[in-house]
C-alpha cells in the first residue's frame, strides 16, 4: 500500500506560469490513490482552466468564496476540515504575502486561515521576486507559524532568467508528502501524555488559588503530537481552549485530580509536563463560603509534584520525561537544577518575566536542556507556540527512534 492511498489532499493552485505543473501533480496524487479537491485562485484560471483540473480530479473545482452553490455543498470551513493536508502549488509571492498577514479576501486564503491542518507551500516565482527581502520576511514569518516550504529550485525560468525560484518538480513534491505521511504512520505506535493549563486549589466552595496559565503551550504540544500520528492524551486544567483532532482530552481542576488522571493514562513513551500546577494548596478547604467578616487565616501546604512523582516512579516512568521550567531569573541555573532534582531527560525553560512570551501569549522562546551530555543544549527563538511545539515533537521523534 502506498502512503498516499486514501489521503485527502486539498490542492490550492495560484496564478503563475508553473501552474501547468499542478496538473501533473494531480495525476500523480490520483495514481497514488489520494482523494484530491482543488481551489483555483482568480489568477490561476489565467494559466489553467477549471475544466482541465476537474477532468483530472473528477471533482468539482472550488474558486469562489461567495458562491452560494459551493457554500451549500461544502462550505469553506468544511473544505478546510475535510483535508488531511493543504498543498499550495504553485505558491506565488502574492499569496505568500497575503498568508503572512492573515488576509482572507478569497476562498484560498480563507480556507488556509480557517484550517488547523498542516500547510505545505511550493513557491514559484521570478528569481528577483524570490530574493526580495519582503518575500524572505513573509516566508520566515509563515515558517514561524508552522507552514512547511518545498523548494524552490535553481534553474532556467520561463521568463528567460536563471536562478532560484523554479517550482519543485511534481515527482519530488510527491516524495516530500510521502515522507511526511510516512512519519505520521510510523509514530502511531507511540503514546504521548501532556499536562497543560493551571490548576485550581479550592479555599472554599467558590474561591481558589490559581495562576495565569492559559494552557496554550500544552494544547499546542498536544496538537503537534496528534498531527504527527502519536496517540495523544492531554490532561488539562481549566482553560477555554478548543481541542484539536485525535486528542484524548481529560479535563481536571486540582493538582490531585491531575495526578490521578496522569497515573491512569500511563504508561506512555513520552510525557511532557507543561502545566503550571499550583505549588500550594490550603491545608483545610472550608466546606462553606467564607464570610467577609470572618477572621481569615489561611494555612497553606505544598501540593503534590506530579512531574516529580512520575519521573521517579519505577514502573510508571515513560522513556522520555520532559519538564517545563517557568523562570524569571537565572534561567539556565534554575532549569538545570530542575533537570537533576526532578529526574527529567529534558527541561524546556521559558522566561516568564517577559510579558510577550510564556504565560497566556501565543508566542514562546525556549531553551532546551538535556540530561544526556552528548546532546548540546539549545535555544528555540521566538515563534508561535505551535511552531515551538512542532520543533519539540521533531526532537522527541528523533529521540524515540
Applying CB under 6 A, which residues contact ligand PMT? 195, 197, 213-217, 255, 273-277, 279, 303, 305-307, 323-326, 338, 350, 352, 358-360
Nearer to ligand PMT, 61 or 277 (CB): 277
Q: Which three cell numbers stand for residue 173?
A: 513534491
Do 331 and 349 contact (CB within 8 A), yes or no? yes
CB 244 within 8 A of CB 230: no
DSSP of 94-144:
HHHHHHHTT--SSHHHHHHHT--SEEEEEE---HHHHHSHHHHHHHHHHHH
Instruction: Return the number of the residue (103 or 144) whose C-beta is nearest ligand PMT.
Output: 144
Catalytic residue among 154, 159, 304, 340: 159
Separation between Cα atoms, residue 96 and residue 85, nearest integer Å: 17
Q: Whole-number minimum distance, CB 228 to ligand PMT, in Å? A: 20
In the complex, the smallest distance separating the C-beta of residue 119 from ligand PMT, rounded to whole angstroms, is 23
Nearer to ligand PMT, 173 or 306 (CB): 306
DSSP of 198-233, one letter per residue?
A: B--EEEETTEEE--S--SHHHHHHHHHHHHTT-EEE
Contact predicate 197/221, CB 8 Å: no
Question: Which three three-digit cell numbers place residue 112?
Answer: 488556509
From 274, 368, 371, select the one nearest 324 (Cα to Cα).
274
CA distance 8 to 37: 8
Minimum Å gap between C-beta 164 and ligand PMT is: 37
The angle, 0 to 180 degrees and rounded to 10, between the axes of the packed helices 216-227 and 385-400 is 50
- Spatial separation of the C-alpha atoms in residues 199 and 178, rounded to whole Å: 41
* Set of cell numbers at residue 247: 486528542
Cβ 27 to ligand PMT, closest distance in Å? 44
Q: How far apart are CA 128 and CA 331, in angstroms?
A: 43
Which of 132/251 has CB closer to ligand PMT?
251
Annotated catalytic, 159? Answer: yes
Which residue's CB is nearer to ligand PMT, number 119 or number 352? 352
Residue 355: left (phi > 0), alpha (psi -120 to 50), or beta? alpha
Is the CB of 41 or the CB of 274 nearer to ligand PMT?
274
Q: Which is nearer to ligand PMT, 164 or 351 (CB)?
A: 351
Distance CA 333, CA 279 (A): 20
User: Whole-number minimum distance, CB 213 to ligand PMT, in Å?
Assistant: 4
CB of 226 to ligand PMT, least distance (A): 17
139 CB contacts (<8 Å, ≥6 apart)? 96, 100, 121, 123, 149
Q: Provide, rounded to whole angstroms, the least separation between the CB of residue 229 and ligand PMT.
A: 24
Q: What positions carry a catalytic annotation?
A: 159
Amino acid at each position: 500500500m502506498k502512503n498516499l492511498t486514501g489521503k485527502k489532499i486539498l490542492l490550492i493552485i495560484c496564478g503563475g506560469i508553473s501552474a501547468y505543473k499542478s496538473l501533473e501533480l494531480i495525476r500523480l496524487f490520483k495514481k497514488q490513490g489520494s482523494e484530491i479537491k482543488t481551489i483555483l485562485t482568480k489568477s490561476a484560471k489565467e494559466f489553467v482552466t477549471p475544466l482541465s483540473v476537474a477532468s483530472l480530479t473528477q471533482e468539482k473545482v472550488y474558486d469562489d468564496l461567495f458562491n452560494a452553490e459551493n457554500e451549500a455543498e461544502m462550505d469553506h470551513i468544511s473544505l478546510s476540515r475535510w483535508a488531511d493536508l493543504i498543498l499550495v502549488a504553485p505558491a506565488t509571492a502574492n499569496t505568500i504575502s497575503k498568508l503572512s498577514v492573515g488576509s482572507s479576501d478569497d476562498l484560498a486564503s480563507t480556507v488556509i486561515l480557517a484550517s488547523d491542518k498542516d500547510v505545505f507551500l511550493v513557491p514559484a516565482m521570478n528569481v528577483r521576486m524570490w530574493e526580495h527581502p519582503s518575500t524572505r520576511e513573509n516566508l520566515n514569518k509563515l515558517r514561524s507559524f508552522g507552514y512547511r516550504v518545498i523548494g524552490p529550485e535553481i534553474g532556467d525560468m520561463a521568463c528567460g532568467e536563471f536562478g532560484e525560484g523554479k517550482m519543485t518538480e511534481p515527482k519530488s513534491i510527491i516524495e516530500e508528502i510521502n515522507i511526511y505521511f510516512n512519519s505520521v504512520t510510523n509514530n502511531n505506535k507511540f503514546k504521548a501524555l501532556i499536562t497543560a493549563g493551571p490548576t485550581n486549589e479550592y479555599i472554599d466552595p467558590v474561591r481558589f488559588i490559581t495562576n495565569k496559565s492559559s494552557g496554550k503551550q500544552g494544547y499546542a504540544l498536544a496538537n503537534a503530537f496528534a498531527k504527527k500520528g502519536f496517540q495523544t492524551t492531554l490532561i488539562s486544567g481549566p482553560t477555554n481552549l478548543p481541542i484539536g483532532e485525535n486528542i484524548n482530552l481529560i479535563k481536571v481542576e486540582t493538582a490531585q485530580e491531575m495526578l490521578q488522571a496522569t497515573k491512569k493514562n500511563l504508561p506512555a513513551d513520552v510525557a511532557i509536563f507543561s502545566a503550571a500546577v499550583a505549588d500550594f494548596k490550603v491545608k483545610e478547604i472550608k466546606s462553606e463560603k467564607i464570610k467577609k467578616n470572618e477572621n481569615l487565616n489561611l494555612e497553606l501546604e505544598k501540593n503534590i509534584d506530579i512531574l516529580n512523582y512520575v519521573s521517579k516512579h519505577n514502573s510508571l516512568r515513560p522513556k522520555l520525561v520532559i519538564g517545563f521550567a517557568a523562570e524569571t531569573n537565572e534561567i539556565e541555573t534554575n532549569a538545570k537544577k530542575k533537570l537533576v532534582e526532578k529526574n527529567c531527560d529534558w527541561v524546556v525553560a521559558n522566561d516568564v518575566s517577559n510579558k510577550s512570551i510564556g504565560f497566556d501569549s501565543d508566542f514562546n522562546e525556549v531553551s532546551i536542556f538535556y540530561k544526556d551530555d552528548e546532546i548540546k543544549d539549545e535555544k528555540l527563538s521566538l515563534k508561535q507556540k505551535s511552531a515551538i511545539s512542532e520543533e519539540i515533537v521533531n526532537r522527541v521523534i528523533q529521540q524515540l527512534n
